[in-house]
Amino acid sequence: MERIPILRMGNFLLVTIQVDMHDKLALTLQDDLTTRIAEVGAKGVLIDISSLEIVDSFIGRTLANIASMARVLDAETVVVGMQPAVAITLVELGMSLPGIRTALNVETGMEFLRQTVPDYRERDDDGDYTED
């Protein structure tokens, strides 16, 4: 089955959506991501949608849901690289996604996560977290 890979970078999880999202894929991603956040105790999630060109209300809602779920699991979510056309579509659909943090690209997104997420590595005793 088609899956979107979830990469781990220290405290953060990195998701790059490089295929056209369909409803099933979005739900799978939601499942996988929440499981993974709980598993590794991630404090930040970065979702790169710069290759996503088509978005509908369901995908938009799923993104918002993922952000809310991550928040419940104590992880900050940032969505990066949204295309102008996608942004316009979401606004026209009436979805302003108020709970989601956004950034222009992966670089600024990571910078934002590093600033907002407190560094837990020092307090970590069992050495679970590797160096950057």
- Asked if 51 is part of the footprint of other proteins (rule: CB under 8 A), the reply reads no
- Asked if 44 is part of the footprint of other proteins (rule: CB under 8 A), the reply reads no
Q: Alpha helix (H) ranges present in 49-126?
A: 57-72, 84-92, 106-116
> Which residue carries 């009436």 as its tokens?
94
Asked if 106 and 81 count as a contact pair (C-beta separation under 8 A), the reply is yes
State which residue, 28 or 102, has the beta carbon closest to other proteins.
102
- Asked if 115 is part of the footprint of other proteins (rule: CB under 8 A), the reply reads no
- Asked if 103 is part of the footprint of other proteins (rule: CB under 8 A), the reply reads yes
CA distance 74 to 82: 24
Using the contact rule CB under 8 A, the part of the chain among 4-12, 39-47, 100-108, 115-123 near other proteins is 100-108
State which residue, 75 or 103, has the beta carbon closest to other proteins.
103
Asked if 49 and 64 count as a contact pair (C-beta separation under 8 A), the reply is no
The minimum distance between CB 93 and other proteins, in angstroms, equals 11
Question: Residue 64: CB partners within 8 Å, gap ≥ 6?
Answer: 95, 97, 99, 100
Extract the tokens encoding 100.
Answer: 């989601």
The minimum distance between CB 102 and other proteins, in angstroms, equals 4
Question: Can you give the binding site for other proteins, defined by CB under 8 A?
Answer: 79-84, 86-88, 90-92, 96-97, 100, 102-105, 108-109
